[in-house]
Amino acid sequence: MILKGVNVMITGAAGGIGRHIAGAFASRGANLSLVDMSEESLAPVLEMAKEKGVSAVPVVADITKDEDIERAVRETEVELGSVGVLVNNAGIMPFKTAIDHSPGEIMATLMVNVYGPMRLTQTVLPGMIKSGSGRVVNIGSTFGSLAFPYFSVYSATKSAMRSFSEALRRELQEVKGVGVTYVAPRAVRSTQPPVFFEMAKKMKMSLDEPTKVASVIVRAVEKEESEVYLGGSEKLFMFINKIKPTMVDGGLKKQIEIMKEYSPKMQKK
């Protein structure tokens, strides 16, 4: 897929990964629809797009609300034209035991990580199908294939997006020019609190740099790839998890002890 002149809508565009994704697409000459909760937080991303010589529009929207989703797409179409690539990047990642999640936290995670991306996809897909060109990009996680303790709700949402991407890809097989890409990074070195990185180091957790993740996403779109997973040893664990999940249970015992130690600290961040 040639990205020059294509209109790319990115949710969570002001976040640690989102701004790097925006920069990577802008470097290819794509125009940007930058979706986030605050116009102020989008200002530096808009400035970056301006410096790279591409068109960009800030869209302040809450992707858990249907009226905001529809308005975000309308504003993009008015300012730039039809959406050629949708990057469902916005997400939240609570860290605590399954029993400690409040009902509000569970609902918020489901709405941001699953409902919003699905509804945005429903909103932009008809235009892509009509034009015979487009790609939906869903940002997942290693935790979507390898469910991790203390990330139970987050893992569940990323597993949902992996399945949604797979099903949607199969539905669109006969639609020429329209596709789906699912990208699953490991933990990303972005906006988490310092205590998270302290825990990650103790666990010997591999962290991906946001610039690397962004370049992988853009390359996957250009090559029209269906699924991309980052990491080496994680892929092995995912394979083992497929054939015998209980083997992974025992392999995570040391990490669980560390997470148990850090859970109270993370809640105080």
List, by residue number, the catalytic residues: 154
**Dist. CA 24–CA 7, nearest whole Å:** 13
Asked if 25 contacts 49 with a C-beta cutoff of 8 angstroms, the reply is no
Report in angstroms the alpha-carbon separations of 168 from 21, 65, 182: 23, 22, 11
Q: What angle do the packed helices 18-27 and 39-51 form, to 10 degrees?
A: 20
Under 8 Å between Cβ of 21 and 87: yes
Instruction: Give the H or E element holding residue 225.
Output: none
Structure tokens at 71: 């308005």
DSSP H or E run through 179: strand 178-184
